[in-house]
Every structure is written in C-alpha cells, then in structure tokens.
Structure 1
Amino acid sequence: MKKWLSISIVGLLAASMAAGCSSGKPAATGKDNNPAPASAPDKTGAPSASSAQDELKDKLELNIMAISYEGGGWPANNPMIDYLNKKFNIDLKFQWISQDNYKEKLNVMAASGEFPDSFLLMKDDFLKWRDKGIFLDIKPLLAKYPNLAKQLGGEEQLQFMSPKGKYYSFPYYQIETQTSFGIRKDWLDKLGLQMPQTLDDFYNVTKAFAKQDPDGNGKNDTYGFSASLLANKTDFKHIDQIKAAYGLVNTWGLKDGKVISWHSQNKELKDFAAFMAKAYAEGVLDKDFAINKVKDPQDKYEAGKVGIDDVVPNVFYQTIEPNLKKIDPKGETVQLLPPKGPTGLQGTATNAITQRIVINAKIDAKKQDRLMKLFDYLVSDEGNTLTKNGIEGVHYKKEGDKYTKLDAFDKDRPILISAWYLRRFDLNTQIRLWDDKTMVDNVNKWFKNSEPFKWTNVAAGLESPTDTKNGTTIDQKFMTALIKVIMGEQPVDSLDQAVEQWKKDGGDKITQEYNEAYQQTQK
C-alpha cells in the first residue's frame, strides 16, 4: 500500500470504446450509454495534432497519491495504466495509502516538504495548507483544458474553498442526495401495512417489522431499522432522515441568519433522543447500533434482518437486491421518501463536495501541463467512458448495440480512477455500459425523488481552526452522552448538560469561528 504503484482512484465505473476489439483502444462517446461511432470526431481534448504530439515527446513520470479502500489499488501492470502511459507518454505511478493511514502519510510528507505531483485531500487538510503555496492555482491554465472547465461543476465548484479568484483544487464529485431509505414492500404487504408518511407511521411500521414476524420464520429475529456511527464516531449513519424530521441541522445549519450546530439544539435533540430511546427499548432499533461498523446495517438488510435501510440506489440494484434475493427470492424493496416530522420537516442525507484533488505547485511546467492533459482527458466523453467501464475488448465487448462485461473487469477493477480520484459531475457515475436500462431508469428515479429533500451542511466549505484542532474530540464526547440516553442509561434531560459541556469544551468558539467565516462569504 505504501509504495508507488501505477495509477488508481475512487470508484465505481470506467468507460471506453474502441475502433476494434483487438486494439483495446476506447472510442469517443456521446452520452454515457450511447457510444458514438468510431468515426466520430475527437471530443476528448487529448493530444491528436502534430503540435500536440510534440508536447508529448518527452516521457514524464507522474506520481499521484490516493486513498485506498477495500481491495487496495492497482498493481503496476494494470491494463489501464498501460493504456494511459502509452496515450500520454508517461510513467504513471499511484501511491495507494489506506484510509486509516492517509492523514499520517500526508503529515510525514508535509514535514519533509515532499508531496506527490497530485494528491487527494479532505477538507481540513486542504484548508490547513491552502495558503502555504503548496497547491497550483489552476485557474490561469483552464482555457487550454475545456473538459475540466465544463465537466467539474463549473466556476462554483472550482472556486469552492479557495480564495476569491483562485482555483487551488478540483472537486471529487459526490452525488448530493446520494442515499435514500429503502423499505421491504413484501413485509408491508404481508402485515397489511401502508407506506409510512410521517415519523409516527415510520415508528408503527418498524415496530411491526420487529414484532410481527414479517419473514415468517417463527422467530423474533428482525429489527425495524438499524444505524451505526461514522468511522470517527462523531455522528450517526443511516438515520439522517430521522434527525432532519426533528429539525436537527446537518452538522451545521442556519437559524435567524446565524450558523448553529446540531449539538446546541436542546429541544430538537431531546425529541430525537426520546424517539430513538423508545425504539431501542422496544426492540425496534437494532440493539447493536452503537457498535455497528458503517456497512453493518446494509449487511443486515441484505440478510433479511432489518426492514428499512439507508442505501445508495445504484449499489442497491447492483449488490443489495441480488444478495437479498438469495436469502428471500420474494424480497421486494421500494424507495421510502423521508418521513415528515412533527412540524412537517423532511430531509435526506446530503453530501458536501469537500474532498479536493490538488496539483503540487512545485513541479515544473511540463509536468503541470501533462497532468492537466491527463485530467482533461479523464473527464472527457471518451475518458469518462474509459474510467467507468474499462477498455473495450479487455474489460467488456460490444456486439451491435449490446455490451457484455468480461471477467477482466472484476479482476482489473478499471473503475478505480473514477471511484477513488477524479470523475466528472455525472449522476450516472456508477452506471456501466452493460447495465440493464430498467435498472438505470430506476436509479435515476430514486435520485430525482430525493432531490427536493436536500439537507445541507452550511459550514461544509468553511474553516474553523478550533474545529480542526479539537472538534473530533468534543463531538465524540457529546456522542457518548447521547448514546447513553438512547440506551436508557441516562435520562433525556441529561442532554442539557451534554450541550453545555460541548459548548464549554470548545463548541462556542467553533460556532463563533464558523459564523465569522460564513459572514465573509456573504460580502
């Protein structure tokens, strides 16, 4: 994981099209699922004219560092690396660092002053080093790379978190309303229940799922819903819709023009905690919610042990539903819109695009240009197809209008660039050429249905030095108090003390800093 490898990134998809299966060369495309013919004019922005070839005559080594998740990164001899090396006359190397050690690795590099040519950063590290002269301002260069200007969210996203007039990073795209509740419709039908509309409905349905043997196995072995904590244990996962229904803000929100934290919303917190405590005490909420790993609720849904889960739609159709069908062939899931809270509020899990890709300002102009050419290609029509599906004839084949995945796709995982590093703003970023059209339509419908329920963190792109330094510690302390209430170990009113302690430990200072930063954005 800690040695330089040839290329990788975040992902789910890759794409490509070729003049012939044997060549392994992707052809230009129009829309993702409608490849253009091989004779279509080049839309990629990749070098093609003789002058452009002259710019590529010197072979350059490009080093990129990315976060590695399950399964690690690409080995040095991956076909995707070979293809890009040849296309751009480069020796492309990726240093794959596991998510658990990534921050530590960055700090070591910062101490030595030796950063890679390009690397991925989370919000805190980006803001920490943004004004240190480490990152290349890409704004003056963008005119030469039209795909980067067009396909990465435009000026708003390129400017995000940089000083006015500077573009110090590219965004790592995440679908804002990426997740949605899915509910076992076959369980509803078996128990004679209607789709829940309100939180009260939600509770009654999930209690029935827990108590009325919806799977018909004669055992008391199901829960209504589950949850987990985030990896850093500062918040919950899988139940944002319940928090939003009670009027809690998404970490940070606005009230009367001021930035507030959910940690300071006494009434809303106590209402939410009372709901969760009741669900826990009555066996409606998964008893292991506080020790679950992030993916455990999904695994339990797939295993038929939970009736509602917060899922990513494309992952649902590609993975969760097939796994559920193996357990229960009659299992049927439909989308459940966020339940309405006591005052009619609704919201769903909403991502902020705070992961950023930067280019090292210290590398020479030739390397800067070659990286920009590479990145511009990756978000072009052709590059988007390549990074979502792989190389035609290697990772998939095309016969007429039909596309078929080949075994090498799962072995080579050509999607890692798109999945773990750089990809265009594309709702279908996780959809492949061979995916069933009905499934694709269903995924897009889920995304469209969730769009009206955005629940935005207003401080996502703002900086608070105190939050960066101490926020995780005081948030974890607060979560410990909240979990004790939910598990019945402390009364609900004890949250008043937890709120005051959070403020005293640094919450008030963090709130002040975020308000000052927010006011600067309003000028």
Structure 2
Amino acid sequence: MKKFGFINVVLFFLVLAFTSGCAQQEEASSEKTERDTKIESEGNNDSFEPYNFEEHLTISMLTTGSPIPYEDNPVFELIEDKFNVTFDIQYYDRGDFEEYLSTLAASGNLPDIWRFGHNDPRMFSDWAERGAYYDVKPLLQYHPDLEAEYPTWAWEILNPSGHYYGVPEYRLQTRNMLAIRQDWLDTLGLDVPDTIDEFYEVAHAFTHQDPNGTGKNDTIGFSAMGLFSEDGTAWRGGAFGLAREWKDIDGELVPYQAQLDELTEYISFMRKAYEEGVLDKDFMLHTDWRDANERLSNGIAGIEYVNPNSVHEKEAVDVKEHDPNAELTFFPPPAGPDGSRTTPTRSSFFKKVINANVSKEKAHRILAIYEWNITDGYEITRHGIEGIHYTVHEDGTVEKLDAWDEHEPASIGTNLIRGWNELHRAYWWLGEEFEQTLAAHYEMNEKYIWEDDNPALISETNVKIGGQLDAEFEQMMTEIVVGRRGMEDVETAVNRWLNDGGQKIIDEMNELYEEYKATRS
C-alpha cells in the first residue's frame, strides 16, 4: 500500500521552473511555436509527413535502473540508424527521483522523455496543469498501432478529459506470488497452507521445528516490508479485510487507517508472529520487497513473495547455495476469516511523458520509435538480433548468446516503452513450458487482485499532510507489533489519525467521489 505523500519541494521547484526558466527558454519557445504552426498548417493540408526522418535529431531520455552499455551496442545502433536519431540517456536509480526531477525542472534541464512511475499522482496532475508535458492525443492519428496497443483507461488515467499527457507503460498489477519451501514442508510432514490460520501454523513450525535440520534456531516463518506497503501487506492485510488504500463501503470511500476492527485483527496477527519469532525481527527496516525477499534467498525464511518471471534464475538458484535440496512451491494467498484472498497489486498509472517544449517533429519521432518498439521492433528489443544475441537451431530451439546479457536488448526495449504483454519476459530460449507456467501463475494471481476503489481522486489535505499522518500512524502500529504499546493503542492510533486531519481527508475524498459517480451515472 504505497502512500502518496506529496513532497512540498516539488511545488517549489516547479514554480521556479516555469518562472526563472522562462527567460532562457523564450527564444526556443518562440522558434517552437513558429515551427509547430507551420507543421500544423501542413498537417491540415494533408502534406505533413510524420514518418519523414530526414532531419537528424538528438533525443534525451531520463530513466531508472542500471546503465546499459551504449557504445558499440548493435540494438541502439539499429534504432538510431532506422530513425535517424542519437540517444542521450541518463540513468538515475535512487529513492529521491521526484526531487531530482524537480531540480531539473528548476534549472530548465528536463529531458525530452522521462518516466512517470512511482511518483505522487498529484505531481503528475500539477505538472500537467502547468504545461510540462506534451499532449500526444492529437498526434495519435498518425500512430494508430501505438494507440491501439494500450486500453483507453490506461491513456485516460490521471489525465484531464480530452488530453493524453504521456504514453501508458504496461505494468503487471498482480505480478508477485507466494513461494514456500517445499522441502521444509516435506521434512515436517506439512501441507501447503490454504487459510490464514494454516499459514500461521506452518510459519510457526518453520520457526521452531528445525526444518533445515541444522539443530540451530536459524529459521523464521516469513518476513515483511513494514506493515502497510502494498507490495508486502496483501496476503495479510487484505485477508483481514483491510483496504489497499480505499474501500467502497456502502457507497462511501473508507481508508484502511479508519478500519478499526480489521486493523485490530491484522495487528494482533502480526504482534503474535513477532512475539513468537515467526516474523522477521527486522521487518520494520525493510524499504523494498526485495529486502524481505532476501530472507528466502538466504535460506532463512520459509515463505516469501517472488517474481514469477525471474524466480527460476534468482531465488530458486540462490536458496540452493545454502541448501542443495531446497525446492520452492508456489501457492495462492491464504484465505482470511471471511474467505478473502488478496495478492500484491501495484499501481498501473506508469507513463512515458514527453517534454512540452520539444518540436512537433521530435514528438512524432519519439512516438514513431515507441510504435516500432511494440510492433515490428518488439522481438528485437526483447530477444535481440539473430546471430548476435541468439541463434535458432535446426530443431527450432533457440539458444541465448552471451551478447544478450552484454547488450541488454530487453532492458533497452523496456526503457523505451513496454508493450501490453504480461509474458514479455518469457524469452524464446526458456521454452514453451516456461511460458505456459508463467501464464498460469499470472492467471492465478489475477483472481486475487487487491482492488483500490479510489478512481485516482486526490484530496488536497492528503497532499499537504497525508504523508506525515501515515508515517505517524505506521510508527504507532509498529510499536504495538513489537510490544512497546498495548493492543488498546490500535484504537488510539486510528483516532489520532482521524483527529489530526484524516477525517478531513475522508470528507474531501467522498465529496469528490460523489461528483465522480454523478458524472458517470
């Protein structure tokens, strides 16, 4: 359950970007206006050629992740030659990505393309209102395959009516699934758990019955990423009826922070797990689901989330370094008291946005590259170039070559734009069986999507103080779990959140919710 506390510095820098930056960009903006007026006129006369690539362009891009080798990379060379462009790529993979974007905006140095992903959705709306993004909707008539690739809701989400600021980026909402040490189950004579009570019994046995046979107290049941992260809370919080963020109850939106009964059950479960050593003692220190995931890889935890498209080359391999007999089994989230099952469900409003200051020629060139990347170029920026990155044998099997890892074509494709394909990491050389297994995992996960009933509505009060309220709320709940406070303080935490501004957030959200429903009735 990611909390969208808005960072005040964003607004500060943004104001600077569109005031102090005006003078230095006035000349460029004037040229852009003149050029775009001409292009628009030509377009209206059916003479504009969006696929005319005679003019060489440099396209700057800011993305996340580790740098990909650029020099002598045949995939980059192919794309650049085809579209007559040169890429200028900057990688920034740190937690302060929002602040970094704001700094670039303040200095007038925003790139041509960047990724809007984990950022606060209010940040997207504010920047859109101030004209930071290029509206690509009028240009999509020239790129029908690109428009058709993504569902209408993905184009529309976060955008004002009639505008498409950015191109949607596919993000599998229900990706991760639970893995359990099958060898530990076999050693202890236990079955894969189906309910939350059975889950706890198995996790308790993994902690106290020496499942790895070392004779030491060196195993735990499960880890966690804090108490309320959407990547890590799902099978627990959702099973007890907690909202992912907001839940429609009798026509009104209710946040998880106000669900006293459900919170009491959930926190009681976690407190018991902590007291009895079933829960990782460092759970409150984890800031990424992979932090908790390492407990499984290191042979310490018996149950944890994994990524189905990479478990075969990560956790399933890593854990064997600690125990050659280790085997993992994957299973659905356990059923809660009322039968609820929820799997980690990630936000799906990721977009690749284009700087509003680029020329129309450049905007079209970018969209053309995107369109190629999800059509004719899709297999190239996924599997690479035949003979360089893979080879096809006479029997039809495909072998990955070392250059694929060196040149990272799949990462290049992802950094450009992801196609709407949940199996984009089912590479040819992994075989049909792997693809079918992966598809089955995702089909299972989709049954247990943890819905957030908030249709991207934003409370002004939540923007201002929501982050602080949530931090204080989780701190108090964590103190209850680790025994520094009593269970009676669950109600204290709920009341404090409500009284310190939470109720105002609820009121504002439901006023917006009523308006939202009225416009769609």
Task: Please give the TM-score of this superposition, normalised by the length of structure 1.
Answer: 0.84
Residue 281 of structure 1 is matched in structure 2 by: 275
1:436 positional shift: 3.1
1:308 positional shift: 0.6
Task: Check the 8 A contact 2:238/2:340 in 1, yes or no.
Answer: yes
The letter for the 2-side match of 1:434 is: W
Residue 16 of structure 1 is matched in structure 2 by: none
Equivalent position SS for 1:454? coil
| Counterpart-to-counterpart distance in 1, 2:142 and 2:435 | 34
Residue 91 of structure 1 is matched in structure 2 by: 86
The letter for the 1-side match of 2:114 is: F
Matches within 5 A, 1:155-304: 155-229=152-226, 235=229, 237-294=231-288, 295-304=290-299
1:86 positional shift: 0.6
Residue 330 of structure 2 is matched in structure 1 by: 335
Q: Structure 1's 203 and 131: CA in aligned 2 closer, same or farther, altered over 3 A?
A: same
After TM superposition, the structure 1 stretch with the greater mean CA deviation from structure 2, 99-108 or 308-317, is 99-108
The letter for the 2-side match of 1:109 is: L
Residue 451 of structure 1 is matched in structure 2 by: 446
1:54 positional shift: 7.2
| Counterpart-to-counterpart distance in 1, 2:159 and 2:89 | 26
Q: When the two structures are aligned, how many residues end up with a matched partner?
A: 466
1:114 positional shift: 4.2
Query: What per-residue deviation string (whole Å, max 9, x for no partner) do you get for residues 336-365 of structure 1?
Result: 211111122111111221222112222111
1:415 positional shift: 2.2
1:245 positional shift: 0.7
| Counterpart-to-counterpart distance in 1, 2:461 and 2:405 | 44
| Counterpart-to-counterpart distance in 2, 1:72 and 1:458 | 37
The letter for the 1-side match of 2:203 is: T
Equivalent position SS for 2:392? strand
Query: What per-residue deviation string (whole Å, max 9, x for no partner) do you get for residues 191-232 of structure 1?
Result: 111221111111111101111111111111111111123xxx
| Counterpart-to-counterpart distance in 1, 2:512 and 2:355 | 26
| Counterpart-to-counterpart distance in 1, 2:236 and 2:266 | 8
Residue 14 of structure 2 is matched in structure 1 by: none
Task: Check the 8 A contact 2:231/2:345 in 1, yes or no.
Answer: no
Matches within 5 A, 1:370-389: 370-380=365-375, 382-389=376-383
Structure with more of its chain in helix, by fraction: 2
Higher relative contact order (CA 8 A, sep 6+): 1
Equivalent position SS for 2:387? coil
| Counterpart-to-counterpart distance in 2, 1:482 and 1:420 | 38
- Structure 1 residues not aligned, in runs of 5+: 1-50
1:470 positional shift: 2.6
**Percent identity over paired residues:** 32
Query: What per-residue deviation string (whole Å, max 9, x for no partner) do you get for residues 236-270 of structure 1?
Result: 64331111110001022211111111111111111
1:306 positional shift: 0.9
| Counterpart-to-counterpart distance in 2, 1:516 and 1:444 | 40
Q: Structure 1's 52 and 244: CA in aligned 2 closer, same or farther, altered over 3 A?
A: same
| Counterpart-to-counterpart distance in 2, 1:214 and 1:518 | 50
1:456 positional shift: 1.4
1:144 positional shift: 1.6
Task: Check the 8 A contact 1:187/1:215 in 2, yes or no.
Answer: yes
Equivalent position SS for 1:127? helix
Equivalent position SS for 1:120? strand
1:74 positional shift: 4.2
Query: What per-residue deviation string (whole Å, max 9, x for no partner) do you get for residues 72-124 of structure 1?
Result: 34445533322211110001111212233421221123324443222112323
Matches within 5 A, 1:106-121: 106-121=101-116
Task: Please give the TM-score of this superposition, normalised by the length of structure 2.
Answer: 0.85
Over aligned residues, Cα RMSD in angstroms?
2.1
Query: What per-residue deviation string (whole Å, max 9, x for no partner) do you get for residues 360-391 of structure 1?
Result: 222111111111101111111x3221222223
The letter for the 2-side match of 1:191 is: L
Give the counterpart of 1:353 among 348, 352, 362: 348
Residue 136 of structure 1 is matched in structure 2 by: 134
Equivalent position SS for 1:228? coil
Residue 145 of structure 1 is matched in structure 2 by: 143
